[in-house]
Amino acid sequence: MTRTELRASLSLSAVFSMRMLGLFLVLPVFALEAARLPGGDDPARVGLAMGIYGLTQGLLQIPFGMASDRYGRKRVIVIGLIVFALGSFIAMAATSLAGLTLGRAIQGAGAISAAVTALLADQTRDEVRTKAMTLLGVSIGFMFALSLIIAPLLNAHIGLPGLFALTGVMALSGIAVVLKLTPPEPAQIEVRQKGRLQVVLADAQLMRLNLGVFILHAVQLAMWVALPAMLVQAGLAKDDHWQVYLPTVLASFFVLRGTLYPLERRGYLRAVFLVSVGLIALVQVGLLWTAAPSLAFLTGLLFVFFCGFNILESCQPSMASRAAPAHARGTALGVFNTLQSLGFFIGGALGGWLLRTQGPQGVFAACSALMLLWLAAAWPMRAPGRSGRGAGAASSAAR
């Protein structure tokens, strides 16, 4: 990477990390803490509150992405972070599940994922973009793991309101990073505004990636509606769940580094992608067919899950940005992140409903079916080609 590419990758990963940590911090303790609020005795309502930020994100990712194409990436990112911080502070002050749900919904309205990934794609060349997107993917995976480790400890000291307050502060800190540390965005390409969305929706490669990111995050959130209770039943107290999460996530990062980069250079990105989808499908089937899993078995399944999850989080945004036409990149990534956000919402809401009506086996049966559907849909995909250098990357190399 050039110096500008590295600076863009690190600063935007930091912004993404702060936002995702804020979202993930409440995930391990949300279901348990929300149950103490008025209205929190219904798992379906708790699941809705847990996943509703995905719905509002889903509704706004395309408008935010299209706005970033027209008005500039940084401006849209700053506005989104302000909205996200507002939702965090509303959730902090909530005294009922309804208030908590409102705060989570406003959090999701700060839909900056498309603008962030589009800005990073603008400032990197195709040949290094997977590495750049991997920093975003690793930041998501690392923040997810970190939240699973520190959330129970922080919750014991500052409670759920304190976690939301911390989330708001991190979002406001992200604004300073965007304005001070992220390189200037390249000049916007003058293009005809009409028709960009139709071009994106007509691309079969992009639509397969959109389906995949929807299923991946629906399964992720549905899993964590049921998984914490399974770890407790296996004999691990909730405050000790980090003892499983930390080693499995760290080990999966070594697998990511040893597989994704070298195999992509050799032309095997499609194979790595499909194997990763298959691994997560196997995890869901394993959870489905094990009535009373041991702690060792759950630990092994989580390691396999994080191996597949981190690889997919790293390569999917890169593949989407490379498949998208440059003049509609923000729009394409808006659609991509819309489906990601809707996956969060459906995963939380459907997971909570299935847990209440069918138990954990119902959750994992649905997750297994979704993963097998994704594997079938992804099979015809072609490996991404190289479309050339982005405007930002070209200017970076020139410097």
Quick check: is 396 in a domain?
A: no
30: containing domain = 3-181+196-381
Nearest of 229, 215, 247 to residue 367 by alpha carbon: 215
Quick check: is 262 in a domain?
A: yes
What confidence score (pLDDT) does residue 78 get?
94
What confidence score (pLDDT) does residue 282 get?
95
Over its length of 399 residues, how does the chain's per-residue pLDDT go in tens digits?
788 888 988 899 888 888 877 777 887 777 778 878 887 777 778 878 877 877 887 788 888 888 887 888 899 999 999 999 999 999 999 988 889 899 989 998 988 888 888 888 888 887 777 777 777 767 776 777 777 778 878 888 898 899 999 989 989 999 999 999 998 887 654 444 445 677 777 778 888 999 999 999 999 889 888 888 899 889 988 778 878 888 888 888 888 878 876 777 777 788 888 999 999 999 999 999 876 789 999 999 999 999 998 888 878 877 887 777 767 777 787 788 788 878 888 888 888 889 888 889 999 999 999 999 999 998 887 766 544 434 344 333 333
- The two structure tokens encoding residue 366: 């649905």
- Where in 198-307 does DSSP place strands (E)? none
Alpha carbon of 7 to those of 20, 132, 136, 175, 374: distances in Å?
A: 20, 10, 13, 16, 35
Quick check: is 41 in a domain?
A: yes
Q: Distance (Å, rounded) from C-alpha 26 to C-alpha 143? A: 12
Q: What is the CATH number of the domain that holds 170?
A: 1.20.1250.20
Quick check: is 388 in a domain?
A: no
What confidence score (pLDDT) does residue 246 get?
82
Quick check: is 93 in a domain?
A: yes
Answer for the pair 340, 214: CB distance below 8 angstroms, yes or no. yes
Quick check: is 36 in a domain?
A: yes
Answer for the pair 178, 77: CB distance below 8 angstroms, yes or no. yes
What confidence score (pLDDT) does residue 129 get?
74
Number of domains in the chain: 1
Quick check: is 387 in a domain?
A: no
Quick check: is 155 in a domain?
A: yes
Burial class (CB in 10 A: 0-12, 13-18, 19+), 234: middle
